[in-house]
Structure 1
Amino acid sequence: MILNPDSSKPIYVQIAEWLETQILNESIKSNEKMYSQYQLAEMFNINPATAAKGLNILADEDILYKKRGLGMFVSENAQATIVTKRKNNTLVKLVSELVLEAKNLNVSEDELISMIKSAKERDDDE
Structure 2
Amino acid sequence: MIVNNDGTKPIYMQIAEWVETEILNGNFVSEDKVYSQYQLAEMFNINPATAAKGLSLLVEDHILYKKRGLGMFVTNDALELIRHKRKNQTLKRLIKEIVLESGRLGVSENELISMIKEVAGEETTE
The TM-score range, normalised by the shorter chain, is: over 0.9
Give deviations 1:95-116, integer Å, cap 9, x for gaps. 1111111122221111010000
Aligned residue pairs: how many?
A: 126
Match of 1:93 in 2: 93
Q: Which runs of 5+ in 2 are unaligned?
A: none
TM value normalised by structure 2? 0.96
Match of 1:77 in 2: 77
> Percent identity of the aligned residues?
63
Q: Letter of the aligned partner of 1:124 in structure 2? A: T
SS of aligned partner of 2:19: helix
Shift of 1:125: 1.3
Moved over 4 A (4+): none
Match of 1:5 in 2: 5
Match of 1:115 in 2: 115
Give deviations 1:28-70, integer Å, cap 9, x for gaps. 1110111110111111111000000000010000000111121
Q: Letter of the aligned partner of 1:45 in structure 2? A: N
Superposition CA RMSD, Å: 0.9
TM value normalised by structure 1? 0.96
SS of aligned partner of 1:72: strand
